[in-house]
Amino acid sequence: MSDSSLRKRRKDDSPPSSNKRTSESFKPKSSQNPNLLNMILIAIALAALLVYKAPETFNKLYNLVNPPPQWKSTPRGFVADFSADVEKRNAVVEAFKHAWLAYERDAMGDDEYHPIKHKGSNLTSAGGIGYTVVDSIDTMIIMGLDEEYKRAKHWIEHKLSFDRDANFNTFETTIRVLGGLLSAYQLTNDEMFLDRAKELGDRILPVFDTPSGLPLSMVNLGKRTGVSDVDNRGFVSTAEASTLQLEFKYLALLTDEEAYWEKAEKVMKVIKDGHLNTGLASIFMNPEDGRFVLSAIRLGSRGDSYYEYLLKQYIQTDQAESVYRDMYDDAMNGVHAHLIQKSPRTRMTYTSELIPERTPTGEISWRLTPKQDHLVCFFGGSLMLGAVTTGAVTQPVSIPPQPSELTDQGKRDWTAGRELVETCMKTHDTATGLSPEIVHFRIPTDGIDDAVAPGDCRLTTYNVEISNRPGAPPPYDARYILRPETVESLFLAFRLTGDPRYREYGWSIFQAIEKHCRIASGGYASVLNVDSVPVTHEDKMETFLMSETLKYLYLLFDDVNTLPLSKYVFNTEAHPFPIFHPTIRTGFS
């Protein structure tokens, strides 16, 4: 399996080395009116009494009239309309059919699809594991595509085999295939899906049999053995180890087999025991001793869904497992303290990476790098979801939440989340309207020639530097590979605010995909350089186009009562699972 086929893994990963302030100043107006003066004195006395008797209430009231400086409320002046935008929703369904029917015509059952060559391919020579079919089937169910669903289901029932003597990525197989089977089961109650899910779960389970309990990166599905990743010295990426829990815990709930739960949960204990004093996690861990390996810290590849699943594990079990809330809150404090930045000129919110370096004396220093993967664009919506969950004073909050309904941390995360969504939209301001895999932000010390990125950069209104330009920092990656992360955030942002701007944003991205990625004979292809038209295609339709990008776009335009966030949590591959109350108690704290 080529590295480029991995969703959250990237070629540029070098193997690891072992181990606002818009505060308006408050100007009291002096008053000459004695009545008013009396009233003010009485008010002050009452306020003092309130502070003394009920400090909590006072704080709430105080925040209401005088919100902390980091709070920026959602702009007013829009009318929230939560009903379906039928025309746009139907356009997304048409796109899905354009993708699926071409795949079905040319490559039915193959793991991956190349729409320009009209061919499929498998991840390994041992044969396919239903990567595309299983990943896409719940989107068909949600979109009401009954005929397509029946044919896909028939294939899963009669043709799908996991008896493949070859190595598959543990994480990708879990989120796409196990996740797809579980959500198909939950949406249809068809036992066949659960049987297949259980079979796959049993084949994957041996990966957890390591000294530490951390999973190995690869699994031989035919031999039912875990396999360590020689390319990365046997280390497992933190995001991959910590993005199996939603799937295995839901499988445990459905089958009453606690082993699935315990093995997935153990990973979280090992991570917590790794003593992340900043709340941030390096991107590699050692399955032998369960320790973090000295490696980068980032919200992009190999780090991303660690933070996503801390929050989502807390949500999945109906906010009953406080340990995940604590871990999430710590992590968000670390993210704000170390990774979230503002661009110097236009004050855009973005996230940096921390790269460890050894000084000549052998000490470790961390270098802040203003590089943001497209993958990080999940984080805007995730911060907003976290703000109304762990950052809420009471639940449910209003849509959009009022300042009084959120804690200071909730307000901080809500604001940063909204700003990050805006930044991600700005990365779409390219010749195609698509955003690149990686964006570099200008910083004063970046040494980039202003002729290459003049002022705020060539895309003149802001500091985004697309990394393919000569003189721009490496790595070279201006592709758009049909990724979902920005539309995922738009979906969450729309559900949590009702602000029509998010539907407009989603529509503009959808139109850019239609214009530049759609292949006339069927299917969609990646684009090699988002800032060059006409585009050059890369002949690959990633499975997450049908499982995530088009699903989130559909849900963005559908009625909000479809898969409401109060009842569902989406795995990192956009497969919806139900929120449930756990019968198993958390085994660590």
Ligand X SMILES: *[C@@H]1O[C@H](CO)[C@@H](O)[C@H](O)[C@H]1NC(C)=O
Query: CB-wise, 172 or 477, nearer to ligand X?
Result: 172
- Piece in contact with ligand X (CB under 6 A), picked from 114-122, 184-192, 275-283, 445-453: 114-122
Per the CB < 8 A criterion, the answer to whether 218 and 227 are in contact is: yes
DSSP code at position 473: P
Q: Total residues contacting ligand X (rule CB under 6 A)?
A: 7
Contacts of 583 (CB under 8 A, 6+ apart): 253
Q: For residue 450, indicate whether it is catalytic.
A: no
CA distance 574 to 560: 16
Q: Dig out the tokens for 119 from the structure.
A: 């061919």
Q: For residue 262, indicate whether it is catalytic.
A: no
Residue 426 CA, chain-centre distance (Å), reads: 18
Q: For residue 157, indicate whether it is catalytic.
A: no
Query: CB-wise, 120 or 234, nearer to ligand X?
Result: 120
Under the binding rule (CB under 6 A), the answer on residue 356 touching ligand X is no
Under the binding rule (CB under 6 A), the answer on residue 128 touching ligand X is yes
In the set 5, 63, 122, 282, which binds ligand X (CB under 6 A)?
122
Q: Rounded to the nearest 10 degrees, what angle do helices 191-204 and 179-188 cross at?
A: 160
Rounded least distance, CB 100 to ligand X, Å: 18
Query: CB-wise, 113 or 248, nearer to ligand X?
Result: 113
CA distance 581 to 589: 18
> What binding mask, one character per residue, do residues 20-59 give for ligand X by CB under 6 A, x or -?
----------------------------------------
Per the CB < 8 A criterion, the answer to whether 433 and 402 are in contact is: no
Q: In 376-395, which positions are buried (b, 16+ CB within 10 angstroms) versus exposed (e)?
A: bbbbbbbbbbbbbbbbbbee
Per the CB < 8 A criterion, the answer to whether 281 and 297 are in contact is: yes
Q: For residue 437, indicate whether it is catalytic.
A: yes
365 dihedral zone (left: phi>0; alpha: psi -120 to 50; beta): beta
Q: Is 415 helix (H, G, I), strand (E, B) or coil?
A: helix
430 is in an annotated binding site: no
CA distance 540 to 131: 14
Point out the catalytic residue in the list 437, 488, 558, 573: 437
CA distance 415 to 419: 6
In the set 120, 274, 473, 500, which binds ligand X (CB under 6 A)?
120
Rounded least distance, CB 153 to ligand X, Å: 18
Residues 92-111 close enough to bind ligand X by CB under 6 A: 109-110
- Piece in contact with ligand X (CB under 6 A), picked from 95-103, 119-127, 136-144, 552-560: 119-127
Point out the catalytic residue in the list 138, 485, 531, 542: 485
Query: CB-wise, 109 or 381, nearer to ligand X?
Result: 109
Under the binding rule (CB under 6 A), the answer on residue 121 touching ligand X is yes
Under the binding rule (CB under 6 A), the answer on residue 115 touching ligand X is no
CA distance 255 to 236: 28
- Piece in contact with ligand X (CB under 6 A), picked from 22-30, 50-58, 118-126, 304-312: 118-126
Under the binding rule (CB under 6 A), the answer on residue 127 touching ligand X is yes
CA distance 348 to 464: 9
Rounded least distance, CB 585 to ligand X, Å: 42
DSSP code at position 10: -
Query: CB-wise, 109 or 522, nearer to ligand X?
Result: 109
Instruction: Classify strands 353-358 and 371-373 as parallel, antiparallel or unpaired.
Output: unpaired
Under the binding rule (CB under 6 A), the answer on residue 222 touching ligand X is no
Query: CB-wise, 70 or 220, nearer to ligand X?
Result: 220
Per the CB < 8 A criterion, the answer to whether 269 and 242 are in contact is: no
Instruction: Give the residue nearest to ligand X (CB).
Output: 127
Interface residue list for ligand X (CB under 6 A): 109-110, 120-122, 127-128
What is the set of active-site residues? 172, 304, 437, 485
Annotated binding residues for Ca(2+), written as ranges, equal: 572
Annotated binding residues, written as ranges, equal: 572
